[in-house]
């Protein structure tokens, strides 16, 4: 009997050690049960829970959810180190990112040589199309003027930031991708915006399967109901079909010596063929690359500008100083170009503060460990998800005095010159996989912001306030609350 008891106890210990115990060397945090991980019973948002974990355990914490090991980093230096290393350059193998493609295409979810080639290609396009007094700058200015006209139409009444802001931003991407822009009320554009929104929403549902891969064995019809699989496929194909039409138009007018936009340039690469067997060149890849640019570049820029309007509404003195600077540098009717940037230090400082305070991707975008490795003294197994918390960095009192305050002066030296303070600031990520649209985004922020403030002022509706905190209903992506703002014409 005693032998049986001892053997059962030994087996229990072995089972516990094999399946339940957190292996040595991993960062501290939440481990939970095999295959389930740690599922919290709380009403707190994921973001609040990650902040709590950092308070409790420090700069690097682990949270196992389903079969996924997630590591969150809140320290700027450690985050920068992780993002600079090629062993953290991969994206997770998640359908949420891959949009159910067998092999991830495009740039945002692909890995290895294919990702590298597409990233280089897209960066080259942005550089070639966006340099100096380019078509891209002219396109942003044109959209800025149209936007200001629409904002003027809602002057002197309380109303939400109009959809025209998003249209203007999306049109800039269309200009870069296909050399075309739509009218603000174009039906096709409204339909296209809805398609992107629907596709984005559907990807959240499929994310559950990424954490609990056993669910992939459920019958297909059930997966369609639970995880919107057929919806994702449907929306994706609709987008790709629309792009096909554009590709046909572009093929008909392609001038090999003078590619006018990203589609032209890709078609030329397609003709030349792939530089390596791991780099896929296909119209499907082009479609998914373009989709990545719309996904990554439209809401980010739109929401940053919306947060700017809301923050300025609540900070009239800062708004006034910004307007005075813009009035001095840009006569009425003259729009900013990149060359004006050095003469607009206060405006630059405000935009940096908005990027810091809004921290759109509060826990960054997810990366994945390419191999077994070490970080911050801890063991990080291959496939672990790594996320850097921009929100923690942007509110770290070691870098930011009174981090919660909008203080443009912290970006200015004693002569009022803008100082590119980099420590503690990471709105576009960092390293190998940093935002590839950063230069375009910065150009848009400068031109749209100066055009708006040249002609308009923002305030809360009379007798009311504007809440500058993010909408709590949207997880992991800081989204401005949909609320009224009061615009006046200057
Ligand atoms: C204010 C505006 C923007 C912000 C705050 C922003 C921020 C970010 C962040 C934090 C990442 C993740 C970096 C990482 O994985 O570590 C990212 C990635 C990316 N962004 Fe942006 N972004 C903005 C605008 C844009 C624009 C305008 C475009 C292009 C049209 C763009 C294209 C991309 C792409 C393609 C990626 C994925 C890069 C890769 O996986 O290699 N972004 N962005």
Residue 170 in contact with residue 290, Cβ under 8 Å? no
| Gap between the Cα atoms of 242 and 235, Å rounded | 11
Parallel/antiparallel/unpaired status of strands 68-73 and 385-388? parallel
| Domain 30-489 CATH class label | mainly alpha
Taking the domains of the chain in order of start, what are their residue ranges?
A: 30-489
Q: Which residues face 374 on adjacent strands?
A: 379
Q: Evaluate: CB of 82 within 6 angstroms of ligand 1.
A: no
Per-residue pLDDT of the chain (490 residues; tens, 9 = 90+): 666 655 666 665 565 566 668 888 999 999 999 989 999 888 888 889 999 999 999 999 999 999 999 999 999 999 999 999 999 999 999 999 999 999 999 999 999 999 999 999 999 998 887 655 578 899 999 999 999 999 999 999 999 999 999 999 999 999 999 998 888 888 888 888 889 988 988 898 899 999 999 999 999 999 999 998 999 999 999 999 999 999 999 999 999 998 989 999 999 999 888 778 888 899 999 999 999 999 999 999 999 999 999 999 999 999 999 999 999 999 988 999 988 999 999 999 999 999 999 999 998 899 999 999 999 999 999 999 999 999 999 999 999 999 999 999 999 999 999 998 779 999 999 999 999 999 999 999 999 999 999 999 999 999 999 999 999 988 889 999 999 999 999 9
Atom 41, ligand 1: which residue's CA is nearest? 433
Helix (H) or strand (E) holding 378: strand 378-380
Establish how many alpha carbons lie within 13 A of residue 226's alpha carbon, considering only the half-sphere containing its beta carbon.
13
Nearest atom of ligand 1 to the alpha carbon of 432: 41
Predicted local distance difference test score (pLDDT) of residue 264: 95
Q: How many CA atoms, within 13 angstroms, populate the side-chain half-sphere of residue 40?
A: 15
Q: Does 116 contact ligand 1 (Cβ within 6 A)?
A: no
| β-strands 29-30, 60-65 pairing | parallel
Compute CA 427 distance to the chain's CA centroid, rounded to the nearest angstrom: 9
Residue 385's H or E segment, with its range, is: strand 385-388
pLDDT of residue 131: 57
- Ligand 1 near 434 CB (within 6 A): yes
Can you tell me which atom of ligand 1 is nearest the CA of 441? 27
The response to whether residue 305 sits with its C-beta less than 6 Å from ligand 1 reads no
Rounded to the nearest angstrom, the distance between the alpha carbon of 434 and the centre of ligand 1 is: 7
Query: Dihedral of the CA atoms 255, 260, 264, 268 (nearest 10)?
Result: 60
CA atoms within 13 A on the CB side of 65: 15
Beta bridge partners of 29: 62
Specify the ligand 1 atom closest to the Cα of 440. Answer: 27
Mutate to test the pocket of ligand 1, among 98, 291, 428 (most ligand atoms within 8 A of CB): 428
From the list 61, 119, 46, the residue with the least C-alpha distance to 386 is 61
Q: Which of 421, 428, 441 shows the shortest CA–CA distance to 297? A: 441
Long-range pairs, 240-243, Cβ under 8 A, ≥24: 240/284, 240/287, 240/288, 242/192, 243/283, 243/286, 243/287, 243/290
| CB 300 near ligand 1, within 6 Å | yes
What is d(CA 341, CA 339) in angstroms, rounded to the nearest whole number?
Answer: 6
304 CA: nearest ligand 1 atom = 1
- Report the pLDDT value the prediction gives residue 154, as an integer from 0 to 100: 95
Ligand 1 centroid, distance to 62 Cα (angstroms): 25
Q: Which residue has its alpha carbon closest to ligand 1 atom 19?
A: 435
Determine the pLDDT at residue 17.
60
Q: Is 427 in the pocket of ligand 1 (CB under 6 A)?
A: yes
Specify the pLDDT at position 11. 63
pLDDT recorded at residue 41: 87
């Amino acid at each position: 009997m005693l032998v049986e008891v001892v053997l059962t106890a030994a087996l229990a210990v072995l089972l516990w050690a094999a399946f339940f115990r957190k292996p040595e060397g991993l960062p501290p945090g939440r481990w939970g049960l095999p295959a389930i991980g740690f599922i919290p019973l709380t009403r707190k948002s994921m973001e609040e829970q990650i902040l709590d974990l950092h308070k409790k355990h420090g700069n690097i914490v682990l949270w196992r959810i389903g079969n996924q090991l997630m590591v969150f980093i809140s320290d700027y230096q450690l985050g920068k180190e992780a993002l600079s290393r090629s062993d953290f350059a991969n994206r997770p193998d998640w359908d949420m990112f891959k949009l159910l493609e067998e092999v991830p295409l495009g740039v945002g979810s692909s890995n290895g040589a294919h990702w590298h080639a597409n990233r280089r290609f897209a960066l080259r396009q942005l550089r070639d199309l966006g340099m100096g007094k380019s078509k891209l700058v002219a396109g942003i200015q044109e959209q800025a003027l149209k936007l200001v006209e629409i904002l003027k139409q809602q002057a002197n009444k309380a109303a939400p930031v109009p959809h025209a802001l998003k249209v203007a931003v999306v049109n800039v991407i269309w200009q870069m991708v296909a050399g075309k822009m739509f009218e603000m009320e174009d039906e096709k554009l409204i339909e296209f915006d809805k398609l992107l929104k629907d596709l984005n929403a559907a990807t959240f549902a499929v994310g559950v399967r990424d954490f609990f891969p056993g669910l992939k064995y459920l019958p297909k019809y059930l997966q369609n109901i639970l995880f919107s699989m057929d919806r994702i496929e449907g929306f994706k194909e609709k987008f790709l079909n629309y792009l096909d039409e554009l590709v046909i138009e572009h093929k008909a007018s392609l001038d090999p010596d003078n590619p006018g936009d990203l589609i032209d340039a890709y078609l030329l690469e397609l003709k030349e063929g792939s530089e390596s067997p791991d780099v896929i060149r296909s119209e499907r890849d082009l479609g998914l690359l373009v989709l990545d640019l719309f996904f990554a570049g439209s809401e980010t820029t739109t929401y940053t500008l919306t947060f700017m309007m809301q923050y300025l509404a609540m900070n009239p003195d800062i708004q006034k100083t910004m307007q005075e600077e813009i009035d001095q540098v840009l006569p009425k009717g003259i729009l900013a170009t990149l060359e004006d940037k050095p003469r607009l230090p206060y405006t630059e400082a405000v935009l940096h503060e908005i990027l810091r305070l809004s921290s759109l991707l509060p826990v960054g975008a997810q990366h994945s460990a390419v191999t077994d490795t070490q970080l911050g003294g801890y063991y990080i197994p291959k496939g672990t998800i790594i996320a850097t918390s921009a929100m923690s960095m942007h509110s770290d009192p070691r870098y930011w005095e009174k981090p919660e305050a909008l203080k443009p002066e912290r970006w200015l030296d004693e002569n009022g010159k803008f100082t590119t303070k980099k420590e503690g600031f990471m709105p576009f990520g960092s390293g190998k996989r940093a935002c590839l649209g950063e230069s375009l985004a910065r150009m848009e922020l400068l031109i749209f912001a100066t055009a708006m403030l040249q002609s308009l002022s923002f305030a809360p509706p009379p007798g009311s306030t504007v809440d500058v905190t993010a909408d709590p209903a949207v997880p992991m992506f800081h989204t401005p609350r949909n609320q009224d703002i009061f615009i006046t014409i200057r």
